[in-house]
Amino acid sequence: MSREKDVAGTQMAAIAEMIMNDVLATSDEAILAETVEDGLDPAAKASELRSSALARIRQAKRERLTRARESYEKTSQALAASARPSLAEIKQRIQRAIQGGGANGLSLAFRNGQTLSDSDWEGLWDDMEEMGLLDDGKP
């Protein structure tokens, strides 16, 4: 396709630019009056456009927040996992903390240790550590 074939396109682009410049140079009052002449209710139409735009922005913010939360949780899970001692030590220290009253009298729904899965032990470790119940002087 040659550039000559785009003459009409160039004209339309120039007309669109003229419209844009003229609209920007027109007073608010005149624009509102024109809108009414065109059969539209400016307040209602503006409200519709504003609501739609704000809804999109708020949706984007919610999505961004969800992504950030997921990323945070992933990172903190990874950090917690890397900071945990071995599973054997986890079991030993938790049992010691509970038996030695290290849980400060807190009533724990502590089942028979043999029924806990490894991830239960790790979760319990993270929870107790967060609550400061494993303050046994060890790192």
Partner 1 sequence: MNSKYGKEATLDQIEEQIERLTDADWMKVRKMAEGHLWGTRLGDPEDLINETLVRLIGGTRRWSPGMAFVPWLGSAMKSVADGIRNLKHVKIEALAGDMISDTDSEEVLDVFASEDRTPLDSLLTEEARKDAEATVAKIQTFFKGDEDVEWVLMGIEDGLKAEDIRETSGMTLTQYESAKKRLRRGLARQFPARRLK
- Alpha-carbon distance values, 125 to 55, 69, 133, 138 (Å): 42, 22, 9, 13
Q: Could you say which residues in the range 10-29 bind partner 1, by CB under 8 A?
A: 10-24, 26, 28-29
Q: Could you say which residues in the range 90-119 bind partner 1, by CB under 8 A?
A: none
- Alpha-carbon distance values, 92 to 42, 64, 84, 100, 103 (Å): 72, 41, 13, 12, 14
Query: Does 68 engage in binding with partner 1 (CB under 8 A)?
Result: no
User: Is residue 128 within 8 Å of residue 134, measured between CB atoms?
Assistant: yes
Query: Does 78 engage in binding with partner 1 (CB under 8 A)?
Result: no
- # chain residues binding partner 1, by CB under 8 A: 46
CB of 72 to partner 1, least distance (A): 18
CB of 114 to partner 1, least distance (A): 51
